[in-house]
Amino acid sequence: MIRKLASGEYRLYSRKKNPKTGKRRNLGTFKTEAAAKKHEQEVQYFKRHS
Protein backbone atom coordinates (compact mmCIF):
# COMPACT_ATOMS: atom_id res chain seq x y z
CA MET A 1 0.00 0.00 0.00
CA ILE A 2 1.52 3.32 -1.08
CA ARG A 3 0.68 6.67 0.50
CA LYS A 4 1.88 10.13 -0.49
CA LEU A 5 3.40 12.06 2.40
CA ALA A 6 3.10 15.78 3.06
CA SER A 7 6.78 16.10 2.07
CA GLY A 8 5.92 14.86 -1.44
CA GLU A 9 7.61 11.49 -0.95
CA TYR A 10 5.86 8.13 -1.18
CA ARG A 11 5.87 5.55 1.60
CA LEU A 12 5.27 1.85 1.17
CA TYR A 13 3.27 0.18 3.95
CA SER A 14 2.57 -3.51 4.49
CA ARG A 15 -0.79 -4.80 3.28
CA LYS A 16 -1.75 -6.27 6.65
CA LYS A 17 -1.94 -4.41 9.95
CA ASN A 18 0.42 -5.41 12.75
CA PRO A 19 -1.84 -7.13 15.32
CA LYS A 20 0.22 -5.77 18.22
CA THR A 21 0.10 -2.08 17.24
CA GLY A 22 -2.91 -2.05 14.89
CA LYS A 23 -0.83 -0.12 12.34
CA ARG A 24 0.82 -1.04 9.05
CA ARG A 25 4.57 -1.67 8.91
CA ASN A 26 6.65 0.96 7.07
CA LEU A 27 8.48 -0.82 4.23
CA GLY A 28 10.40 2.18 2.95
CA THR A 29 10.12 5.77 1.73
CA PHE A 30 10.75 6.70 -1.90
CA LYS A 31 11.11 9.90 -3.91
CA THR A 32 8.79 8.76 -6.72
CA GLU A 33 5.63 6.68 -6.89
CA ALA A 34 7.25 4.52 -9.59
CA ALA A 35 10.14 3.65 -7.25
CA ALA A 36 7.67 2.71 -4.51
CA LYS A 37 5.68 0.50 -6.91
CA LYS A 38 8.86 -1.19 -8.12
CA HIS A 39 9.89 -1.97 -4.56
CA GLU A 40 6.40 -3.27 -3.74
CA GLN A 41 6.75 -5.76 -6.62
CA GLU A 42 10.16 -6.80 -5.30
CA VAL A 43 8.69 -7.35 -1.83
CA GLN A 44 5.87 -9.51 -3.24
CA TYR A 45 8.36 -11.54 -5.30
CA PHE A 46 10.59 -12.08 -2.27
CA LYS A 47 7.62 -13.23 -0.16
CA ARG A 48 6.85 -15.96 -2.72
CA HIS A 49 10.41 -17.02 -3.63
CA SER A 50 12.41 -17.03 -0.42
Q: What pLDDT does 48 receive?
A: 92
**pLDDT grade for 50, boundaries at 50, 70 and 90:** confident
Q: In what order do the strands lie in the sheet with 10-17?
A: 2-4, 10-17, 24-30
Q: What is the pTM of this model?
A: 0.85
H-helix or E-strand containing 40?
helix 33-49
Give 36-44 contacts, CB < 8 A, sequence gap 24+: 36/2, 36/10, 36/11, 36/12, 37/2, 39/12, 40/2, 40/12, 43/12
pLDDT in tens, 6-34: 999 999 999 999 999 999 999 999 999 99
Segments making up each domain of the chain, as ranges: 2-49
